[in-house]
Structure 1
């Protein structure tokens, strides 16, 4: 019985993680025109007591649209019923590089490096 409960909890957590990723794929960087997930800016996510924590980076320190992106992330994730609020943890290690981008993002941006 405990195994079933554990498996069910794992399935629910995986489903929520997938829905969080889907929500973040709707957040398009207004300067680059590609979503944050495909840009490789999202390092991880968690949910505790209704608070979603997003660990992420930016393409550059001092990015002028940091607050815009934060607002877009909050709006996207708060549409999920499990999420009451969003906390964003900006991290600079490891530093973002174009190699973190998905193949889709590289093609969309014409990056061949």
Structure 2
């Protein structure tokens, strides 16, 4: 698999928020993907700063990308500005969770 933003996003769709059963891309948690050589920087958020799943998400993102791409160095930056809101979810995620 080639290391591109599109492929990184595809891999991140396999990381699922266990509380709602929706992947972190469709939840709107991914704010940015930056690739420089073999280094990948993921900027992401969570629903709240005190989210108990914080370390699980960071671990899953790193592990998923390191498994999918050879010799990649992954940095995950969790930010809360701008704060996550339901408007950041994909239409599919909103529909699944009952948002209109």
TM-score normalized by the length of structure 1: 0.80
State the distance in 1 between where 2:69 and 2:44 align.
22
Bigger RCO (CA 8 Å, 6+ sep) = 2
TM-score normalized by the length of structure 2: 0.89
Larger Rg: 1
For the pair 1:22 / 2:10, whether they are aligned, the reply is: yes
Give the structure with the higher percent helix.
Answer: 1
Give the structure with the higher percent strand.
Answer: 2
Q: Compare 21-30 and 45-54 and name the one that shifted more.
A: 45-54
Number of aligned residues: 99
Return the offset for 1:30.
0.8
Return the offset for 1:74.
0.9
CA RMSD in angstroms comes to 1.6
Query: Any stretches of 5+ residues in structure 1 without a counterpart?
Result: 1-11
